[in-house]
Amino acid sequence: MPPKRCTQSVPLVDGPVRFDGAASVQPCGDFWRPWRLDLGLKDLYHPQLLHAAAVASGVRLAFASDADAVELDYTHASIFHGCAFDLVVDGRVVTKRVPAVAPLPPGLTGDEKRSVMESHPRAARPPRATVAWSGLGASGRTRRFELWLPHATVVRYHALRVDAGASVEPAVDERRRFVVYGSSITSCAEASSPSRTWPAIAANSTAGLHLVNLGFAGGCHLDPLVARAIAGARADFVVLELGINVFDAKSFSERSFEAAVLGFILNVRDGHPTAPLLVVSPIWAAGREAQKRALGVPAIRGVLAKLVEKLRHRGDANVHYRSGLDLFGEADEADLVDGVHPSAAGYERIGARFSTLAFGVGGCFEQEPPVPPPPD
């Protein structure tokens, strides 16, 4: 039987669909662009942070429907990179992978890649495309749909459609909020698909949490505006993955790093005075571990552990520390793709370990077992 055609349009905004995990959705003519930071403060963000916020790691289209087929029209910002979409329907995941239109040759340096991309005649004209799912099992029963958007590149979204006659309603979401701030180690570009980043694995493998991923590649420098965003958002569990961008950019001395970390945590505490908050130090970073600097990677781990202990001594029993080496250590080095970023398999391992260490028995985020839904 041929797949059903999707002829019923569903508005991406001002209707039953939400961009969960996005702080803003920007109208841009015939497409929409989700942002993971508030665009009302766009002129105040550092350009690098703003660029990273345009990548939709953890963002998904959420709605409830009895649809048997779904289509999404999109435009990839780059013809040189592929992407992946995950459609999750009541826990069942169907991944669609889209290859690059003009894949880059392997083995190029960063400068060589930039040269190829800038000289390519089609670099400014990526094609509009459609990703489609069918055979989703329409049975007249409304189910929860989460369409996880590409997590590693910037994509524009034009239109969403379902099969004719399908109902589409806002999805009820009473799950607790899981907010994770960090670097590219948290945005997870190398993960196999959008729902397989380590924060997504942790959120989905526990009682089921609503994820807000604030992992910004190259942009985790304890910006007060980001602390303000976390303080102003709903958050039941907060994770701060800190340190590796500070090391690479030499953005702080030890003295200023301590002050920035404390200020960031206290700003978050203004909005969430008692929420469990976990500080995670850098995972194993291969060649960076032995580099001699005033604030090296091992020293960063020591500073973060010391600061959390100070806060606990002052009475904050809900702030916790976890060494990144517990999540990905020297024994895992073979799963680093470039000396600092884990492979897809590495992120799977981090997600599983985080789920056990943080949400498992005795973990700082340990929860009561979820109440099962009533039978249909």
196 and 145 assigned to the same domain: no
Number of domains in the chain: 2
Reported confidence tier of residue 376, pLDDT bands at 50, 70, 90: very low
**CATH code assigned at 73:** 2.60.120.260
160 and 249 assigned to the same domain: no
Considering 139, 169, 199, which residue would you say is the last residue of a domain?
169
- Quick check: is 365 in a domain? no
Amino acid 108: pLDDT: 67
- Quick check: is 60 in a domain? yes
- Quick check: is 376 in a domain? no
The model's pLDDT over 33-92, given as tens digits with 9 standing for 90+, comes to 999 999 999 999 999 999 999 999 999 999 999 999 999 999 988 878 889 999 999 889
Q: What is the mean pLDDT of residues 128-137?
A: 93
Considering 134, 169, 204, which residue would you say is the last residue of a domain?
169
224 and 150 assigned to the same domain: no
Strands 237-241 and 177-182, how do they pair?
Answer: parallel
The model's pLDDT over 228-265, given as tens digits with 9 standing for 90+, comes to 999 999 999 999 999 999 999 999 999 999 999 999 99
- Quick check: is 369 in a domain? no
- Quick check: is 49 in a domain? yes
Instruction: Say which residue the tokens 């920035």 belong to.
Output: 260
The model's pLDDT over 82-130, given as tens digits with 9 standing for 90+, comes to 899 999 998 899 999 988 877 877 766 666 777 776 676 655 567 889 9
Amino acid 371: pLDDT: 46
Residues 6+ apart with CB under 8 A from 89: 136, 137, 143, 144, 145
CA atoms within 13 A on the CB side of 168: 25
163 and 285 assigned to the same domain: no
**CATH code assigned at 231:** 3.40.50.1110
Query: Over the range 115-141, which residues count as b (16 or more CB within 10 Å of their CB) and which as e?
Result: eeeeeeeeeeebeeeebbbbebebeee
Q: What is the mean pLDDT of residues 129-137?
A: 93
Amino acid 266: pLDDT: 98
Reported confidence tier of residue 367, pLDDT bands at 50, 70, 90: low
221 and 86 assigned to the same domain: no
- Quick check: is 373 in a domain? no
Amino acid 356: pLDDT: 95
Between 327 and 76, residue with greater pLDDT: 327
Considering 169, 197, 220, which residue would you say is the last residue of a domain?
169
Amino acid 122: pLDDT: 58
The model's pLDDT over 200-229, given as tens digits with 9 standing for 90+, comes to 999 998 768 999 999 999 999 999 999 999
For residue 345, the enclosing domain spans 177-359
- Quick check: is 305 in a domain? yes
187 and 336 assigned to the same domain: yes
Residues 6+ apart with CB under 8 A from 326: 353, 357
Q: Among residues of the chain, what percentage have pLDDT more than 70?
A: 91
- Quick check: is 372 in a domain? no
Strands 24-28 and 143-148, how do they pair?
Answer: unpaired
Amino acid 121: pLDDT: 62
Closest by CA position to 148, among listed 92, 77, 101: 92
Q: Is the pLDDT of residue 1 over 80?
A: no
